[in-house]
Structure 1
Amino acid sequence: MIETHKRQKADENQLNIFDFLLTAKRNKKPLFIINICVGLLTVLYITLTEPSFRAKAVVTPPTPSDLIEFNAIIRVLNQIAIEDEKRESPEYMLRELSTDDAFNLFKRHLSSEKNLDTFLESEYTKNKNITKTEKEKIKTQAKEKILILNPKEQELKNIEINLENKNPEEAENRASTFINLAIQSSHEETIQTLKSAIELHLKINELKIETLRESAEKNRISEIERIKNAYQQAKKIDLESPAMGGNLITSYSGENMYLRGYKALEAELVILKNRKSNDPYIKSLPTLLSQNKTLNKLDATLIRGRLVNIDSSPTAPTTPYKPNILICIIIGVGIGILLSILFIITTISYKRYKDLNKEI
C-alpha cells in the first residue's frame, strides 16, 4: 500500500501536457504580457540599433588573353636567355604566367598585412590626430568589418569580398578601394619582376660586350707587335713581296708571317694602327647589340594586362546588413516562447509546492 501511494504521488508530480495546457489557459494574461514585452524590446532593439550596410564584390581569375602582354615579354626574355647557353639555367628563365599563378598572386596581396595596413591607414586613420594606441584600436575594429570568402578547391575559383559600414555609399567606396589596392600592388610586383629581368639581361650583355671589346683591343695590339716583328724580319732579308714561285709554304701566318714581304706588312700595320673600332671584327657582337636594342625597347610599365577580373563591382547596398529584421523577429519569438514555457513550469512547480505544504 505504501509503495502504491508513493507511486501515485510520483505520477502526480510528473509534468504532463494536460497540466501544461491548463496552466497556460489559466495564465493567458501574464503570458500575453511576457510576449508583448519581448516584442516591444525586439522592436526597440531594431529601432535604436544603428543600421550597418555591407558592400559585396566578386572577383574571378583572369582569362589567358588578359595575360598576353605579360607573357609576350617573358617569351622575349626567355628567347634571349636560350641564345646564350650560359643563361639557359632556371635563374635566368621566367615561367609564363598561368591564370592560376596570376590569381594566386592577387589573393596573396589581397590577404597581406601590408595591403590591409595601407587600406586602413588611408581610409580610417589618415589625418587623424590620435595616439598610436587609439590608431591600433581603430584598425582592429575596422579589420572586423572586412570579410574575405575564399572558395573551396572543388568550387568555382571566385573570391567574395564584403565590407561593412554605417554608410552604404562609404561601404561601396571603401570596398572598391580595398580591391583596387590589391590589384595595384599585385600588378606592380609583376611589372617589377619583368623590369628586374630586363635589367639583368641588359647588365649581362653589357658586361659581355665590354669584355669582348677589351679582348679585341688586346688582340689588335698583340697583332701589331707580331706584324712589327715580321716586318723587321722581312726588312733584314730585303723581302719586299712574297716569292712568286718555288715556295712550298702555303701559310703566311705565325712564324711565316714575314714571308708576306715588308710592303704588305707595312700596309697591314697602318690599317691596324688606324683602326678606330674593333666591333666589325667581333663575331658575337652583332647578336648582343641586337639583343640590347630589343631589351631597351621592352617597357614593362606599358603593360595593360590584368591579373584578376572583377565579376561583380561593389555597389551601395539598399538594405542594411544589421540589424536583420527577420532574424530579430525569429529570435524575439523564440525568446517569448522560451520565457512562456519557463513561466508555466515555474507556476506549476510553485502550485505543487503549496499543495504539498498544505498536506503536511
Structure 2
Amino acid sequence: MQETSSLPTGTDEIDLKVLVLALWRQRFVIVAIAVVVTILAVLFAFVSKPIYEAKVSIIPPTQNDIANYNYGRTVENELTPYTVKEVYSVFTRNLTAESLKHEFFNSYYLPSLTESERSGSQDKLYAEFSKLLMVSLVSKESSDRYMVAVQDESAEKGVELVNKYIERASELAKKEIKNDIRSEAQVLARNIHQQIASLRDVGLKDREDSIIKLREALMVAEAIGLERPPIISGSSTVEVAGNLDGQLIYMRGTKALKAEIENLESRSSDDPFIKKLRTLQTRYDFYNSLESSILDVKVYRTDGVVELPDSPIKPLKSLYVLIGLMVGLIFGVLVALIKNHLSSDGIRLFGRGTGAKSV
C-alpha cells in the first residue's frame, strides 16, 4: 500500500527577515539615492521663483458712504432713495464680472509678458491669469463679504494689482449708478420741461385772447366817447369797470384800454404772469443738476488694508524637502531590490514549497 502526503506546492512567500537583510546589505545604495533626490528637491525649492499673494476682504459701505446718492431723492421729487444693499450689489456685480477680468488681462497682464510669452494661445494665457487673480466669497455664511487675491512674483506688484482691480470695479459701479441717476433725472426733467412749455403756450394764448377782448372793449368805449372811467358813488369800481371776463371792460375808458393793449403787445415774456411756472422751473433745474451733486461716494469698504506680504506662498521649501526624502527612499528601496535580485550572490527573497512522497 502506497500513501502520498504533499505540502502546498507552487507558493512564493516573502520572508520578512530575509527582506530586511537584503535591504540592509544595500543600505548605502538606498541612503545615497535618498540623499541625491533630497538634494535635488532642495535645489529645486531654492531655484524656483517665489510667489507672493496679496489679498483683502471687501465689505458693504455704510449708509453715510452712500448719502450723496440720496440727495433730493424724496417722494415729492418722485425719486426712490438708494439702499446700501442696492449700491453694494452693483459694485459686486462689476467686481466679479468677466468683462473686468478681460479688461485687466489686456491692460495689465499681457503688457507685463515678454514678446515670446504673448505669442502663445490667448485662451491659455487667460486661464493662467484667472488662476493668479481670484475673486470669491469668503464663506456662504457671509454672503456680502468678498475676497480679492492676486498671486505674483513681486509682492509690490501684487498689492498694486489688488488695489487697481478693486478701484476699477468701484469706478465702473459708480459710473453705472451715475448713469442710472442721469437717465432717471432726464426723464423727469423732460416731463417738467413739457409742462413748462404747455404753460407758456397757454400764457401766450391767454395774452392774445386778452388783447382781442381789450380791442373790442376799446371800440365800444370809442363809440360812446368814454375816455376815462366814470366815478359813480355807491358802486364798486370793479363792478363798474369790470374785468376781462365780464361785459363792462369798455367802462375803463379809451386811455386805459389803449395803454393796456400797448403793454400786452410789447410784453417780452409771459413767465411772471403764469402761475406755478417758477415752481416747475425750480424742479427742472434740480433734475438737471442732480448728477453734478453726487460727490464723495463710496460703494464698498475694505476690511483692513492690502498689506505687503513678507513670505511667499510658493514654493513650500520644507514640503519639497519632505517629498524629496520620501521619493528618494522609495526609489532607493526599489533600486536595492532590483540590484539584489540581479546579483549572483543575492539573498533569495522567495522560498518555494516542495512536495514529499512517502511509501
Distance 1:306 1:35, change over 3 A: same
Q: Is the 8 A contact 1:77 1:198 kept in 2?
A: no
Q: Secondary structure at the match of 2:65?
A: helix
Of 221, 232, 235, 2:219 maps to 232
CA displacement at 1:282 relative to structure 2: 1.4
Question: Residue 59 of structure 2 aligns to which amino acid in structure 1?
Answer: T
- Which residue is 1:177 aligned to? 164
Q: Which structure ranks higher in relative contact order (CA pairs < 8 Å, sequence separation ≥ 6)?
A: 2
**Distance in 2, Cα, partners of 1:68 & 1:3:** 100
Is 1:288 matched up with 2:280?
yes
Of 235, 243, 247, 1:256 maps to 247
Q: Tell me how large the CA RMSD over aligned residues is.
A: 4.1
Q: Secondary structure at the match of 2:50?
A: coil
Instruction: Summarize the alignment of residues 52-201 of structure 1 with structure 2, pairs less than 5 Å apart.
Output: 52-71=51-70, 73=71, 76-79=72-75, 81-82=77-78, 93-98=79-84, 100-126=85-111, 134=120, 136=122, 138-155=125-142, 157-201=144-188
Distance 1:118 1:40, change over 3 A: same
CA displacement at 1:94 relative to structure 2: 4.0
Q: Secondary structure at the match of 2:147?
A: strand
CA displacement at 1:285 relative to structure 2: 0.7
Q: Is the 8 A contact 2:53 2:313 kept in 1?
A: yes
Q: Is the 8 A contact 1:106 1:182 kept in 2?
A: yes
How many residue pairs get aligned? The number is 341
Question: Residue 140 of structure 2 aligns to which amino acid in structure 1?
Answer: E
**Distance in 2, Cα, partners of 1:340 & 1:129:** 41
Q: Deviations over 1:192-217 (max 9, x none)?
A: 33344444443433332223212211
Question: Residue 58 of structure 1 aligns to which amino acid in structure 2?
Answer: S
**Distance in 2, Cα, partners of 1:252 & 1:124:** 80
Q: Deviations over 1:129-154 (max 9, x none)?
A: 95985583655533331122222331
**Distance in 2, Cα, partners of 1:3 & 1:54:** 73
Structure (1 or 2) with the larger CA radius of gyration: 2
User: Which segment is superposed worse, 273-282 or 225-234?
Assistant: 225-234
Question: Residue 310 of structure 2 aligns to which amino acid in structure 1?
Answer: T
Unaligned runs of 5+ in 2: none
**Distance in 2, Cα, partners of 1:156 & 1:294:** 37
Q: Which has the higher helix share?
A: 1
Q: Is the 8 A contact 2:50 2:315 kept in 1?
A: yes
Instruction: Summarize the alignment of residues 335-346 of structure 1 with structure 2, pairs less than 5 Å apart.
Output: 335-336=327-328, 338-339=330-331
Q: Is the 8 A contact 1:55 1:171 kept in 2?
A: yes
CA displacement at 1:58 relative to structure 2: 2.3
Task: Give the percent of matched residue pairs that are identical in Structure 1 and Structure 2.
Answer: 20
Unaligned runs of 5+ in 1: 83-92
Distance 1:223 1:252, change over 3 A: closer
- Which residue is 1:32 aligned to? 31
Question: Residue 107 of structure 1 aligns to which amino acid in structure 2?
Answer: T
TM-score norm. by structure 2 comes to: 0.75
- Which residue is 1:46 aligned to? 45
Q: Deviations over 1:55-95 (max 9, x none)?
A: 22222221222111222x2xx1444534xxxxxxxxxx344
CA displacement at 1:165 relative to structure 2: 1.6
Distance 1:189 1:234, change over 3 A: same
Of 291, 302, 324, 1:310 maps to 302
TM-score norm. by structure 1 comes to: 0.75
